[in-house]
Amino acid sequence: MIHLGSNTKSRIVSKGISAGKSQNSYRGLVKVNGRARGVRNFSQCDSLLLGDQCGAHTFPYIEVDNHTAQVEHEATTSKIGEDQIFYCNQRGIDTESAIALIVNGYAREVLNKLPMEFAVEAQKLLALTLEGSVG
């Protein structure tokens, strides 16, 4: 994200999901030009881990050449809890569907912004990729 003009605003939301033995990294550059005054940026990086052999890494790059800029970065890492799965199980939802439900909930903020066709596809893709990923 490169801010050239004054009073420009941007928001970055990154949602990473790591399953199995995968490692997921976020690298993002937020650059503010020296002449751009009053720039605002907010970056949010969330990572979800499935299982205990995967990882998530966040490398935010922030280059600011104007002191009036306000640049924020926030990162979270979470895991699907046994408690959450059990709660779903207790309502009659099997473990695989429970994970799909929780993952979709997690990604909802991003999926919601996509055009309908993509959102449906992305949701199916998620379910497909996660199939059998948690034993």
Partner 1 sequence: MLTINNLHASVAGNQILKGINLQVNAGEVHAIMGPNGSGKSTLASVLAGRDEYEVEAGEVSFLNQNLLNLSPEDRAREGLFLAFQYPVEIPGVSTTNFLKTAVNQVRSYRSQPVLDAVSFLQVMKEKMKLVDIDQSLLKRSLNEAFSGGEKKRNEIFQMAMLEPKLAILDETDSGLDIDALRIVAKGVNALKTPSNATLVITHYQRLLDYIIPDFVHVLYKGKLVKSGPKELAYELEEKGYDWIKEDQKNLTA
Q: What residues make contact with partner 1 under the rule CB under 8 A?
A: 81-84, 86-95, 97, 101-102, 104-109
Let me know the angle formed at the C-alpha of 18 by 15 and 20, rounded to the nearest 5 degrees: 165
Would you call 24 helix, strand, or coil by DSSP? strand
* Complex with partner 1: residue 21 or 90, whichever CB lies closer: 90
Residue count (the chain): 135
* Complex with partner 1: residue 75 or 101, whichever CB lies closer: 101
* Complex with partner 1: residue 12 or 93, whichever CB lies closer: 93
CB of 105 to partner 1, least distance (A): 3
CB of 69 to partner 1, least distance (A): 30
What strands, in cross-sheet order, belong to the sheet with 9-18?
A: 9-18, 40-49, 70-79
